[in-house]
Amino acid sequence: MAREFTSVGVVGLGTMGAGIVEVFARNGIDVVAVEISDAALDRGQAILTGSTDRAVARGKLAEADRDALLARITFAVGLDALHSVDLVIEAVPEHLDLKQRIFAELDRVCKPEAILATNTSSLSVTEISVATARPNQVVGIHFFNPAPVMKLVEVVRTVVTSADVVADVEALCERLGKVDVTISDRAGFIANALLFGYLNHAVDMFESRYATREDIDAAMKLGCGLPMGPLALMDLIGLDTAYEILDTMYRRGGRDRRHAPVPLLKQMVTAGLLGRKSGRGFYTYERPGSPKVVPDEQTPTTTEPALTDTAVSKVGIVGSGTMATGIIEVFAKAGYEVVSVTRGAEQSAKVFEAVQTSLNKGVVRGRLSEADRDAALGRINWSATLDHLADVDLVVEAVVEELSVKKALFASLDEICKPGVVLATTTSSLPVIEVAMATQRPADVVGLHFFNPAPAMPLVEIVRTIRTSAETIATAQAVSATLGKTGVVCGDRSGFIVNALLFPYLNDAVRMLEASYSTTDDIDHAMKLGCGYPMGPFELLDVVGLDVALAIQRELYLELREPGFAPAPLLEHLVTAGYLGRKTGRGFRDHTRR
Ligand SMILES: NC(=O)c1ccc[n+]([C@@H]2O[C@H](COP(=O)([O-])OP(=O)(O)OC[C@H]3O[C@@H](n4cnc5c(N)ncnc54)[C@H](O)[C@@H]3O)[C@@H](O)[C@H]2O)c1
């Protein structure tokens, strides 16, 4: 007979505990919510009323339902109040000794048949369970932040957890409207094991001034469609909690350097900058607990970058591939006079047709008038010789991704173009400084990394080499803005911001699959439902192409020499086998049968 859960207990009403209480009470289950002191209880209660009041204000919860929800909760100080509940979920700070003490106490207080669950993100559920005399009734129930919103629950089964306990907890998750993935006890489980290396890397980029907090966050939101940037997410998680999770993952997860907390994190925690909950973390908030970011001394001034005397009106675009075609369309639509240079009339005709087809689609969808389409096409001049770039103000190079080809091209541009012109490369993996040094004017050379498809993707990475001048960067920013794109500035390292943060995460997902820890479906689910990613890692890899992912991952590994960046053998084997993703019909999934 499956257990009936009519009342549950929640220990600790912080960021997670308060949300977990709300989840149960919303679903008609009585909750006993306990804290360590009256003051902490008041804080927890305030989080709950704040969250339910917001739900009422947004029309997501009726007032009567909120009142009924709150009436189901009993608040108390101390664990004794939990004597008759059917299940307890512990959500106290991420310290093993604290959790073990609480479990030993719960074991004494709770009725014998009660299930004891921990919401730990990284500690060993097994080690917590052995603090009790009923380890077979101990399980991990890992909710995601914010608990009332995120659909995923990771159910963590240890080697001693009874099968019926797991089954009952899975049924409970379903009743709560959650999707569960059941996994064994490994540091970080699925989602955090894939998430925290990425978050730590983003903090490292910030600490080393590789890019600003706003640019790092904008890059991941706009480049990958994530609901929040990594630094804003750290603030939501809580920097103290994030620090503990990283520290545990480092120690439990094979001492992967990528999990060693970046020193800045420890400093911020020590200084009381814990994120949203303390009102200040990477960003500053209106008040403690508020989600509203307010300007501080790091906030960039909002004045539009001025189009100074380097004003750009005529742009040369070199290349005839997917990226060049998209970039020609973007500039022509934004009102620039464009000179397209390809290797011959045949290529130019092909590009013209592609641009025309894409603009026609815009007309059919009502996004562009026929007159604007014709005007955009009329602004493009077609050429097969670089000599026509003698009077342009900006050149964007988007030829094949080979250093020797790009260097030769930049040497020619250096001879042909007038002084003061900005020379940009769209390379996604080569060092921009290499092409800059092929010219006599490296201060004028910059990376302009567009994303595919260029007309649709709102992000441009503006890559500053150690020789790029401030004026060149300002021009690149101004041009990005007039194209309607968000330009983020970063240093000249392999992968810039987006690929450097995205691909190691994808590679880690492949390693997790390779280790048989979980399945493609569960890993994809975990990242979509637990972290709000628009696609799971395997869905994305199949779209991007496994060969492309492998090439980028190799570049990152070769440049940064980070052992954790070594391409997963499974990725290499799939590429060798010709399983490249959607484009060949098969990658991690078989697309021919769908
Ligand atoms: N923050 C996240 O995004 C997140 C997501 C999933 C899981 N978790 C996990 O949830 C757990 C809680 O994390 P958090 O971020 O909510 O922490 P938090 O610091 O926001 O809250 C912890 C709460 O526990 C209370 N507490 C401390 N000792 C207690 C005791 N002896 N008895 C009762 N209450 C006590 C504190 O007063 C505080 O209110 C951790 O194990 C964490 O790893 C966190």
Distances (CA, A) of 349 to 340, 346, 357, 375: 11, 5, 12, 18
Q: Rounded mean pLDDT of the chain?
A: 95
Q: What is the pLDDT of residues 443-490, one digit of tens each?
A: 999 999 999 899 999 999 999 999 999 999 999 999 999 999 999 999
Contact 235 CB / ligand 1 (< 6 Å): no
pLDDT for res 253: 79
Q: Whose CA is nearest to atom 36 of ligand 1?
A: 12
297 catalytic per annotation: no
| Overall pTM > 0.85 | yes
Would strands 87-90 and 179-184 be described as parallel, antiparallel, or unpaired? unpaired
pLDDT digits (tens, 9 = 90+) for 340-383: 999 999 999 999 999 999 999 999 999 999 999 999 999 999 99
* Residue 303 vs residues 174, 212, 260, 279, 300: alpha-carbon distances, Å: 50, 17, 38, 26, 9
* Phi/psi of residue 317, nearest 5 degrees: -125, 125
420: left (phi over 0), alpha (psi -120 to 50) or beta: left
| Active-site residue, 401 included | no
Inter-CA distances, 566 with 43, 349, 521, Å: 45, 42, 24
Verify whether residue 154 is a known catalytic residue: yes
Q: From the CA of 394, how far away is ligand 1's center (Å)? A: 53
Closest CA to ligand 1's atom 3: 237
pLDDT over 90 at 493, yes or no = yes
On whether the CB atoms of residues 241 and 248 are closer than 8 A, the answer is no
Q: Which three-class secondary structure string do you get for 119-185?
A: CCCCCCHHHHHCCCCCHHHEEEEEECCCCCCCCEEEEEECCCCCHHHHHHHHHHHHHCCCEEEEEEC
For residue 307, pLDDT beyond 90: no
Tokens of 320: 């005839």
Q: What percent of the chain lies above the pLDDT cut of 90?
A: 95
- pLDDT-derived band at 302 (thresholds 50, 70, 90) equals low
Which residue lies with its CA nearest to atom 18 of ligand 1? 14
Based on the residue annotation, tell me whether 591 is a catalytic residue of this protein. Answer: no
173 pLDDT above the threshold of 80: yes
pLDDT per position as a tens digit, 575-588: 999 999 999 999 99
CA dihedral 541, 543, 549, 551 (to 10 degrees): 150
Q: Is 278 close to ligand 1, i.e. is its CB under 6 Å away?
A: no
With pLDDT > 70 as the criterion, what percentage of the chain qualifies? 98
Report the pLDDT value the prediction gives residue 2, as an integer from 0 to 100.
Answer: 80
Write the pLDDT tens digit of every residue in 234-266: 999 999 999 999 999 999 878 999 999 999 999
Task: Specify the pLDDT at position 308.
Answer: 46
> Six-digit token pair at 341?
């240079």
CA 180 – ligand 1 centroid, Å = 21
In tens, the pLDDT along 126-142 reads 999 999 999 999 999 99
Residue 309: the pLDDT is: 42
Tell me if 103 sits within 8 A of 80, measured CB to CB: no
Q: Where are the alpha helices (DSSP H) in 458-590?
A: 470-482, 498-514, 520-525, 531, 537-544, 546-560, 569-576
pLDDT at 277 over 70: yes
Ligand 1 atom with minimal separation from the 16 CA: 16
Residue 191: C-alpha distances to residues 198, 275, 328, 509, 556 (Å): 11, 21, 39, 10, 23
**pLDDT (average), residues 516-530:** 96
